Amino acid sequence: MTLSLNHFSVRTLDLEATRTFYEKVLGLTVGPRPDFPFPGFWMYRGDHGDIANAVVHLIGMDPNDAKGLKNYLGDRDASSLHGTGAVDHVAFFATGLAAMRAHLRAIGVAARERTVPTIGLHQLFLDDPNGVVIELNYPAAEQSAPGS
């Protein structure tokens, strides 16, 4: 068996703020999405012609019309939607640490940082508008590079 991460989904009451976060912070773009009976976006990293590039699926909860979502994915209490629950965080490998730090400062997004001892990773931790923790893993050599 082969196994790789296909995507993660975020169920949200604020679909636009969540879309904006993934666009502005991670540079993902809205691409094709099946015609589901509930609002949402598929956020792509790369070619929109390949659904494997739809790495984040945003699921909008419409409090005025929840039937389509309930029937398709099941019901969730809106009060349970903040944070990551039992899932602690979602992580991506990345490059361009200095550019990301500058980008986050420019758009006013706070990040927590740490370097993992012995394995050569420098990490940034961000919170999306729903409290989902996003981890960005950079080669530790970028931490000490000029301009970092």
pLDDT digit string (tens) for 91-140? Answer: 999 999 999 999 999 999 999 999 987 888 999 999 999 999 999 999 98
pLDDT at 50: 93
**Position 11 pLDDT exceeds 80:** yes
Domain boundary assignment for the chain: 8-80, 90-142
pLDDT digit string (tens) for 29-88? Answer: 999 999 888 899 999 999 999 989 999 999 998 878 778 888 877 777 777 777 777 677
pTM score: 0.81
Residue 122's Cβ-count burial label (10 Å; 0-12, 13-18, 19+) is buried
Q: HEC string of the chain? A: CCCCCCCEEEEECCHHHHHHHHHHHHCCEEECCCCCCCCEEEEECCCCCCHHHEEEEEEECCCCCCHHHHHHHCCCCHHHCCCCCCCCCEEEECCCHHHHHHHHHHHCCCCEEEEECCCCEEEEEEECCCCCEEEEEEEHHHCCCCCC
Give the C-alpha separation, 57 to 10, whole Å. Answer: 6
Q: Which CATH number fits domain 90-142: 3.30.360.10, 3.10.180.10, 2.60.40.1150, 3.30.1330.60?
A: 3.10.180.10
Residue 12's Cβ-count burial label (10 Å; 0-12, 13-18, 19+) is buried
**Position 1 pLDDT exceeds 70:** no
